[in-house]
Structure 1
């Protein structure tokens, strides 16, 4: 089994999002293994049109009609982009619902028709016998106000639930990333914890719900899937088997089992539950929390990191160094041409953290721009001693909303290993020993200009974790164990439950 990374819920200009479908698929191929580009298709219980709601109703109706009129083109483009073992696509579209909450249907079938229905369950039934699931998303909104309806929730049609996206985190009402969109706050009755405590069984997914055609936009949500190979059939089987988990952005690699059963599984209670967790993160691990039936059951705090200064060690080892670019005042996009080389040591891997423009929903002043997602973000090459890339960053829209880009270099070296970065003709270099004591930044121009940031070097002992626990206390006929991983940089992973059945 391998981990594959994707986005199962991303929007573009095929309905009332922005950016071309082709650009969206090209962006996905740069840093994901699979994706689904979702069109908005229907809202059976949409509020009646009034003067106050005129814009809301009109942009929805125009978007629905646009998808209907272009469905064959959308379906064919998605089909042609599916290349087994290289990049996987799924077909799908979205149904809004005030009563049941919003869902998007997914299918591995390129024959998926675009039909109308009054509910997610009716939609899945109408698409039979094609293989289809319905994924609830932004579930934490107010009941009856586009939040999920757990009373009507069906595990058979929804094995996976989206727990994090650009809307925020729906795990609990005290989780990081609160709901701040105009649709309102999150409500504890509709959180994931509430559902688990009611005995609902499903796995977790992160996806962006990004409306400017950039699947996997860093920090907006991604889903990890454990599958046998990178094909539609294998990833679909993993979705049905609930072998998924959610991350905010960093590809935090996790393995979590209870009595040998992997996340998403159901296992019979044998009287003793042996929990095992193996994590390879992308930054220092601040905290690992194991939850039992939605309540914190065991907490392991990171041994170091954050603002603590690390004492350099001359020992050979592995380190992760994040190089971030952005800032400045350019609202129209600043293009970076970058390269890196390592003097003394070896680059083990390079992970990209590229973003699309920050768009969650259309506003009256926005106009269609098919190239809004043509950002040229690309890892051009990488080797054991260097890398080359290009990317576009924008002025941060607020002090809490970054529009930067980054690359994470995993390095096998020592304190004398020197990472040299050339960005737009300027050269910056720092050793592992120097970066173990803290971050270093530099600006391209004199004032308010774009900048390059070398983050603190993180030794392997801080970004890797292994834990084992034992439990023999039955609480319910279906005890659910899940895990939250939080890094020092705020990036998180939510590992799907293993369900222990009496």
Structure 2
């Protein structure tokens, strides 16, 4: 099967987000294979309005009304953007709930009426017999405070759960990427692992929950599906079958099987289960863990994939990054990279939208807020050209740079030459195997360009096969896997559920 990349939970100016729907669809086409752009529809058990909560209640109610007033136009625009085998779109909107947790409702077809003022489960019921799913998101928040509710969770309408977004990672209360938004911390009772420990069966996905009209914004969450083709039918079938996994940003390619059955499957097997994991990353692999019943079963340290001597020839990945500086309103880049003595096998873009998770009193919508000109303009075996916009990093711990990942087939003498905004930088693969190279555009507090250390193929690829002869759980053993790169990019692979005959 093929791996296709998407974001089925992101927001723009159709409700209480920012930027136009048209620009959001354009951004999605630039980095993704499929998308659902979500409007905020309702909050059936919203807190009572007080002076303290006036802004919170008002922006929600105005957003809900805005979505309703434009719903027919939104459905038509999203439908027109759907081009089978090129770019796939799904209709969808969000239903908040303090009691049940927030869900985004995604519909396979275009005939999706807007239902407001009812719970996520009531929305799904009202949409019957249409094919819809309700995906719980930011589940790790406190129960009753819009965290996940595993007591009411229904796997028949929620085949997948969002494990990562701009809110952070909800896998467990000690996972990397904690919840830091003003909605509060993670609570172990609501986390993804708490749900699976209850015996619930669902797959893992990521999506951005981006509020400034930029689906697939790098580092904020994406999902992968294993599907036969790039069509609504095929991608929908993959989601229902839980052949999914979530990533932070890098498009880490993963395959995970038990006895030949893919991620998300339910397998009947006794002893002698063959587990296979294949990973092709975008940077150095740091740690891979295969879990059995939530405990580490196989652990692969990235250091074990490295050798004392770098290869003289083969495939290498080089990340070309640009940004830094102090531009709060955006800095525009136009660049070209060329290769001498080698060829470019693939190019992956790592473009971001403005970092917005929720409205603030000072923010004002602008339809062009998400028109950032983040585009791959041309690509050949020896050249690639692009434009993009970067912003000042929000803090010293939060990046707002942009990057391209070049997979290069060459040797230590292969030269990478780059011209960005008139500034040139060049290095050989051999030099970059020893370390990174950078250059600044101005004398001080300036935007900069970085060639990252070159990564040879054996450091970003892994394949492993094991046989498990031990049945542990009385009813069902659960296997899942996590991948971490040295640049702190993750993949969370959907579980496989193995039952005794």
Length-normalised TM-score, structure 2:
0.98
Query: What secondary structure is seen at the aligned counterpart in 2 of 1:60?
Result: helix
Aligned residues: 499
1:469 Cα deviation from its structure 2 partner: 1.7
- 1:373: which partner in 2? 370
Give deviations 1:297-325, integer Å, cap 9, x for gaps: 221101269xx9975442x2000000000
Query: What secondary structure is seen at the aligned counterpart in 2 of 1:157?
Result: coil
Counterparts of 1:329 and 1:272, CA distance in 2: 58
Contact 1:172 1:192 in 2 (8 A): yes
Counterparts of 2:145 and 2:418, CA distance in 1: 49
Q: Do residues 488 (structure 1) and 483 (structure 2) align?
A: no
From 345, 352, 356, give the equivalent of 2:353: 356
- 1:41: which partner in 2? 41
- 1:164: which partner in 2? 164
Contact 2:34 2:87 in 1 (8 A): yes
Give deviations 1:260-308, integer Å, cap 9, x for gaps: 1100000002322110001100001000001112222221101269xx9
- 1:62: which partner in 2? 62
Give deviations 1:352-390, integer Å, cap 9, x for gaps: 000000000001111111111000000001111010000
Contact 1:310 1:437 in 2 (8 A): no
Q: How does 1:94-173 map to 2 (within 5 A)?
A: 94-116=94-116, 118-173=118-173
Q: Do residues 333 (structure 1) and 330 (structure 2) align?
A: yes
Counterparts of 1:294 and 1:123, CA distance in 2: 33
Contact 2:43 2:119 in 1 (8 A): no
Query: What secondary structure is seen at the aligned counterpart in 2 of 1:323?
Result: strand
Q: List alignment gaps of at least 5 residues for structure 1.
A: none
Q: Do residues 497 (structure 1) and 500 (structure 2) align?
A: no
Q: List alignment gaps of at least 5 residues for structure 2.
A: none
Counterparts of 1:244 and 1:149, CA distance in 2: 22
Contact 2:338 2:382 in 1 (8 A): yes
- 1:429: which partner in 2? 426
Counterparts of 1:150 and 1:474, CA distance in 2: 26
From 386, 391, 395, give the equivalent of 2:392: 395
Contact 1:309 1:436 in 2 (8 A): no
Contact 1:98 1:145 in 2 (8 A): yes
Length-normalised TM-score, structure 1:
0.98
- 1:13: which partner in 2? 13
Counterparts of 2:172 and 2:295, CA distance in 1: 10
Contact 2:311 2:456 in 1 (8 A): no
Taking only aligned residues, the RMSD between alpha carbons, in angstroms, comes to 1.2
1:118 Cα deviation from its structure 2 partner: 2.9
1:478 Cα deviation from its structure 2 partner: 1.6
Counterparts of 2:472 and 2:40, CA distance in 1: 41
Query: What secondary structure is seen at the aligned counterpart in 2 of 1:4?
Result: strand
Query: What secondary structure is seen at the aligned counterpart in 1 of 2:298?
Result: strand
Query: What secondary structure is seen at the aligned counterpart in 2 of 1:303?
Result: helix
Name whichever of 189-198 and 260-269 sits farther off: 189-198
Name whichever of 186-195 and 124-133 sits farther off: 186-195
